[in-house]
Chains A and B, each alone.
Chain A
Amino acid sequence: MEEEKQKKDIFETIWDFLASVKLAIAVFIILALSSIIGTIVEQQAEPAKNIALLAKFFGDSAAPTVYNVFAKLGFMDMYRSWWFVSFLVMFSVNLIVCTLDRFPKTLRLVKTPLRPLAENVVRTLPVKKEIKLKTSLKTAKDEFLNSLNSSGYHVLESNEDDSVQLYSQKGRYARFGVYVVHLSIILILLGAIIGARFGFGGFLNLPEGQVSDVAFMGEGKTIPLGFSVKCNWYETRYYEGMDTPQEFQSELAVIENGKEVMRKVIEVNSPLTYKGITFYQASYGMVPNAVGYFMLTVTPNGGQPHTLQLRPMESFDIPGTGIRGTIVNFSPALTQDRRTGALTTYSEAMVNPAVAIEFQIPSQEKFTGWILKRYPGTGALPGGHSVRFDDYWGVEYTGLQVSKDPGVWLIYLASIVMAVGLYVAFFISHKKVWINLAHEAPGGKGPVRITVGGSTSRNRLAFEKELEHLVSKASHAIEGRSKK
């Protein structure tokens, strides 16, 4: 017997510890403070970076040693370190145990029916008011009942010989608001666990025109997609007259069993999802040493446009004009030097692509002109003919973030749950109002003494105003009636 009691005590002690808000406060502080470390030390970075950072604080000679100590403590990948994760687990356990501990009490509180109170107890409630009116008990009761009902209170009454009590409440389910908020936090943690366990995050740099059936995870690890994805084209669109990107776009096609099953132009903020795997527009770049195709549209004056696809140094004709062009040069980012006026390339990226074409026009001398993709006016030829430079295709790749997160729907669900919970917890309160009505003198004589008292789970000031309003509304109505 003795031993059993002791055991139970230990269990209870542990339970109380895990359910305590003191522990919650401690864990909040620990999580907040330790998270700071991870924002100072760069996470998952190359050692050299953080050694340089530490040298600012500890000096060049001590930095490597400090780095090693920090690395041992897990600071370099802190949010995944065993101790940080342990605190997160502690946090969840605390939240769950605390909820299990308190929920039954709240449930009882909500379920317990409201009881009438003695008049002198009503006077001691946190919010109270007392008035006297010359009227009958019945009129006073009716009007206060009306007033309570129209404010949304659920009213009960108890009648005695010389007095009546109206006792009422509303918003008792608001007491569950905090539990809804806490539940949503558990859902988020659950969603995160599912994502970490069953999802992946990888990347894929896919050149224009190429197909892949895997994504990459770093260190050469690959993840099979279960289907193939093809990049039809990649393009950066710029704001007119500026080098500020307006949109990064790629057209992707999903190929399964040799058939194209889906095609979509993706942008930042508008990914493609197929069979739970999502492709995000994350970056872009030039494929080293790639030779692509020049995509041109030529239009004879008044004639039909023709699209062409040409290799470097290839030639083409503008139909019906005798004009012949040869592609002789390319620049990904052409500009004119402000001082010398010479044409130069100012970036490796395709910021302002331009193609140089050598034109041979009958009975004229050969000349070479640059045609810029972003400025179609540069392709106007004598005689009203034109050449448009649509793209230098096959030299860029699109950088895709490839991820699968089967837990993400839980995160979305939890967001909604949390929004509802926060609303209920903060903006709805559980209010109780008792109104005692009694004649001043025994035997139904004298004015009616009205004693109002109430309590609220939050927003006391607003509750005071509400009661004030409720009482004045009823007493006006009563006075109005007695005048008639």
Chain B
Amino acid sequence: MNSSTFFDISAGAYIAAMIVYIIYLVTRNKNVGLAATAVTGFGFAAQTIAFIIRWVVSYDFWLTSNPASGFVEALLRAAPLRNLYESLVFFVWSLILIHLLIEFRYKNRSLGAFVTPIAALALLFTDISGTTKEIQPLVPALQSNWLLFHVLLSFLGYAAFGVSFGAAAAYIITATESKREKTYIFWSLIIGIFLIILVAMGIDFMSLSAAERKELIQSHFLKATFRSSSGGVVAASWIIALAFIFVLWQFGLGLKKVLNSLAVTPQMLEEIEYKSIAIGFPLFTLGGLLMGAIWANSAWGKYWSWDPKETWSLITWFVYALYLHARFVGGWRGKRVAILAVIGFVAVIFTYLGVNLVLSGLHSYGSG
């Protein structure tokens, strides 16, 4: 069997796990919780196999075009972390790994309902964004060990930030008293926008032919809904989106009871939120910023050039630095810092996807 079979199995398992975790939240049945973990673990094993197979295939691929390469060099160059697809898949793998570790350590399964959706959405995104899944030859700029470690550590960091986002989102719910609280409104907006963009991209995807799908991100992003040429479709999209956010706001608070009944304490969520940032921040600083800069210096002769991607990494870094200082020195606690954890992950997503999707679209003024 090849890597994509195992990968499809794992993707299926994660989506199933998401559903089982949610059922667990609703039914609070212990066996269901156990099943959720089992399904997640199964998916993780399958994905690990897929990852290894892909690595081996890339290794052979590299050796055919670089027969003179040594074992270690070929192994490093073949690491499947080379394009949007591979890195998103690795992100999902790290996210699940961290999630399983937390579950094991805190002996509480309820966070799964907040983390598996992030994994499922990321996988869904690899499908609907139309990014290529083929093993591609490595272009010269990417043939660098610094780059490899840069990507590896950044994505581990992003995954830790993803977990903190899940915990912060759950925290805000448990700490909310009334639907009129600003933090709760903020929560409804962010979660709503997330889901809406994904659904809208799904609609883009379905409305396109197979050939056009490859260009979804570059030229068809949200063209089937919010950016449609028909004014009626645009208006309807907005109305539906706002209605969705309203419904989320109206009923989202129901989650609080569920979480409470599962012995999920706000303290625990806050601790997971902070712990993940405490792991993510050093990884991201080292891997994302410093190794990225060192790689840029060895490839282009400039360690920092304020290009949008670099700048957005820096913005992300500032947000998390802000989180740490506000919490440790400024004495901020609770919902105020949870919001920063949410904003931080939004910045992560923007750094990784938004810069390519939104900003490059803005700058390609010719093809508008």
Chain B: minimal CB distance from A183 (Å): 14
* Residues in B neighbouring A418, C-beta threshold 8 A: 285-286, 290
* Residues in B neighbouring A92, C-beta threshold 8 A: none
B326:A269 contact, CB within 8 angstroms = no
A477 within 8 A of B: no
Separation of A278 and B290 alpha carbons in the complex (Å) = 20
B124 within 8 A of A: no
* Residues in A neighbouring B278, C-beta threshold 8 A: 426, 458
Separation of A24 and B290 alpha carbons in the complex (Å) = 22
Chain A: minimal CB distance from B364 (Å): 10
Digitize A262-281: 1 where CB-to-B-CB distance is under 8 Å, 0 elsewhere.
00000111110000001011
For window 256-303 of A, CB contacts with B under 8 Å fall at 267-271, 278, 280-282
Given that A28-B321, A53-B362, A56-B362 are contacting pairs, would A192 and B326 also be in contact in the complex, using a CB cutoff of 8 Å? no
Separation of A401 and B365 alpha carbons in the complex (Å) = 27
B30 within 8 A of A: no
Separation of A281 and B281 alpha carbons in the complex (Å) = 33
A282:B306 contact, CB within 8 angstroms = no
A240:B286 contact, CB within 8 angstroms = no
B34 within 8 A of A: no
The dominant DSSP class at the B interface is: helix
Residue in chain A with minimal CB distance to B312: A39
B306:A271 contact, CB within 8 angstroms = no
B140:A245 contact, CB within 8 angstroms = yes
Chain B: minimal CB distance from A374 (Å): 13
B325 within 8 A of A: yes
Separation of A240 and B290 alpha carbons in the complex (Å) = 35
A32 within 8 A of B: yes
A35:B301 contact, CB within 8 angstroms = no
Partner of B315, one of A35, A79, A403: A35
* Residues in A neighbouring B141, C-beta threshold 8 A: 268-269
Instruction: Tally A-B pairs: CB < 8 A.
Output: 124
B301:A278 contact, CB within 8 angstroms = yes
Separation of A32 and B322 alpha carbons in the complex (Å) = 10
B65:A408 contact, CB within 8 angstroms = no
B359 within 8 A of A: yes
Chain B: minimal CB distance from A243 (Å): 10
Digitize A15-46: 1 where CB-to-B-CB distance is under 8 Å, 0 elsewhere.
00000011011001101100110111011000
* Residues in A neighbouring B66, C-beta threshold 8 A: 246
Digitize B274-312: 1 where CB-to-A-CB distance is under 8 Å, 0 elsewhere.
000011011001100010011001111111101010011
For window 388-429 of A, CB contacts with B under 8 Å fall at 401-403, 408, 411-412, 415, 418-419, 422-423, 426-427
B319:A32 contact, CB within 8 angstroms = yes
Given that A79-B306, A280-B299 are contacting pairs, would A32 and B140 also be in contact in the complex, using a CB cutoff of 8 Å? no
Chain A: minimal CB distance from B101 (Å): 14
Can you name 12 A-B residue pairings with CB atoms under 8 Å? Answer: A29-B318, A36-B311, A56-B368, A192-B304, A244-B137, A246-B65, A269-B141, A282-B301, A423-B282, A426-B278, A426-B279, A458-B278
6 further interface pairs, Cβ-Cβ under 8 Å (given A35-B314, A282-B300, A418-B290): A24-B329, A244-B137, A270-B298, A411-B293, A415-B294, A419-B286
